[in-house]
Copies of this chain bind each other. A is one copy, B any other.
Amino acid sequence: MHIYDLPTPAVVIDVAALHKNIAAMAEIHPGRRLRPHVKAHKCSGISAQQVAHGHTSFTCATPKEILGLAAAGIGEDFLLANEVVDPYRLSLLAQAQEDALITVAIDSPETLSAAHKAGIKNVLIDVNVGLPRCGIQPARAGALADTARQKGLTVRGVMGYEGHLMMETDRATKKAKVHEAMALLAAAHNDVGGNIVSAGGTGTFDMFSGTTVNEVQAGSYVLMDSQYQQLGHPFVQAMWVMGTVISANEKWSVIDVGLKSLGMDHGNPSITDHNVWFCSDEHITFSSNEGTPSPRVGDRVFVTPAHIDPTMALHEVAYVANEYGDVIDEWPIDLRGW
């Protein structure tokens, strides 16, 4: 089947671009130096490619992401880099510990207590390094680790997500700020102990030399989006939402890709050589740049999302295509939901 035979909207992945991105990152952060984040794509088929390139530890945002990968035998060391107090979901993770190494982030006595009650064996202290979100204040991290050990849990180390620095475009400024944030994490690690110092994302993946960080949690680099493209990293766009033109006139065209098939928090998506006017629930209205012929009804159009993570979460399946546009595989986006 050719991608032009697919029903739309459809997530299309360029398999060569995907492997280029995975290989580029694996060269810089081989094996366990990278703990690829699953939340960026929620697709075990992509995680399996990362395993083939040598990564066996994964970062997850939801219990479902861990449970799905563990059940499929993809990876062997899973970090829930997020706080969870739901006893049922934590109990599912505790059951899965028999077959996989699972570590749960905690940042408070309450999240520690929830993990302990559910029977979680391994935790990691989530440290706030500047982003106003989860994470304990660095100075309190050691005491939380002590309490966890008193309860009989293994504390594997620390993580600290410097999400507020991902889109800083001046590299010198970014490096200085990342190192400042990682100094906080290093101090907390000194109090906490354990082997893991986990941080980072696609926006900061190459900023950790000279820090104590020993694993990077990047995820978006595998597929990319128009926002991360701005950073000039060695990763290329590997995913598009393909649409079909359903209406067209002299001034504008309309495709069947809209708010329900695109993450919109980073703004409008992009279409190469075209100008996106606005998105509706089921449509994008756009015009063609000068010199680009306007599409006709029935033509296929490739949309680059502004934010990959919430876009993938909207689709049931990703179609994997080769350079000729043949569909060589279909990967369910099987780790969606909660």
Which residues 53-102 in A have Cβ within 8 Å of B in the complex?
A: 61-62, 82-86, 88-89
CB pair A247 B316 closer than 8 Å:
no
0 or 1 for each of A153-191: is its CB under 8 Å from B? (1 = yes): 000000000010000000000000000000000000000
Q: Of A18-26, A105-113, A223-231, which binds chain B?
A: A105-113
Chain B residues whose C-beta falls within 8 Å of the C-beta of A107 in the assembled complex: 247
- Nearest CB of B to A126, in Å: 8
A-B contact pairs, 8 of them (CB 8 A): A8-B86, A110-B298, A132-B251, A132-B277, A132-B285, A259-B310, A264-B310, A265-B279
Closest B residue to A246 by CB, please name it: B83
A246 partner, pick from B39, B84, B244, B259, beta carbons under 8 A: B84
Please tell me if the beta carbons of A247 and B282 are within 8 angstroms of each other in the complex: no
Residues of B within 8 A of A8 (CB): 86, 338
Looking at chain A's contact residues, is the secondary structure mostly helix, strand, loop, or mixed? loop
Q: Does A249 contact B (CB under 8 A)?
A: yes
The yes or no answer to A9 lying at the interface (CB within 8 A) is yes
| CB neighbours of A249 from chain B (8 A) | 137
Contact across chains for A246 and B309 when beta carbons are under 8 A apart: no
- Name A133's contact: one of B88, B89, B254 (CB within 8 Å): B254
Inter-chain contact B7/A108, CB cutoff 8 Å: no
Distance, CA A7 to CA B249, complexed state (A): 47
CA distance A228 to B254 in the complex (A): 25
Is A134's beta carbon under 8 Å from chain B?
A: yes
Q: Which of B83, B246, B264, B337 contacts A265 (CB 8 A)?
A: B264
Among residues 229 to 271 in chain A, which have CB atoms less than 8 Å away from a CB atom of chain B? 244, 246-249, 251-252, 254, 256, 259-260, 263-265
Chain B residues, Cβ within 8 Å of A259: 263, 265, 307, 309-310
Alpha-carbon distance A137/B250, docked complex (angstroms) = 11
Give a binary string over A102-122; 1 marks a CB under 8 Å from any B CB, 0 the rest.
Answer: 000001101100000000000
Cα of A307 to Cα of B277 in the assembled complex, Å: 19
Tell me if B297 and A309 are in contact (CB < 8 A): no
**Partner pick for A135 among B108, B247, B264, B281, CB 8 A cutoff:** B247
Contact of A244 among B86, B163, B280, B282 (CB under 8 A): B86
Contact with B along A297-338 (1 / 0, CB 8 A): 110000000010110011010000000000000000000011
Cβ contact within 8 Å between B89 and A7: yes
A283 at interface, CB cutoff 8 A: yes
Q: Which B residue's beta carbon lies closest to that of A265?
A: B264
A134/B82 in contact, CB under 8 A: no
Q: Which of B39, B134, B337 contacts A281 (CB 8 A)?
A: B39
Having A8-B86, A82-B256, A83-B254, one finds 10 other A-B pairs with CB under 8 Å, namely A7-B338, A82-B282, A84-B256, A85-B246, A107-B247, A133-B254, A133-B285, A259-B263, A259-B309, A314-B314
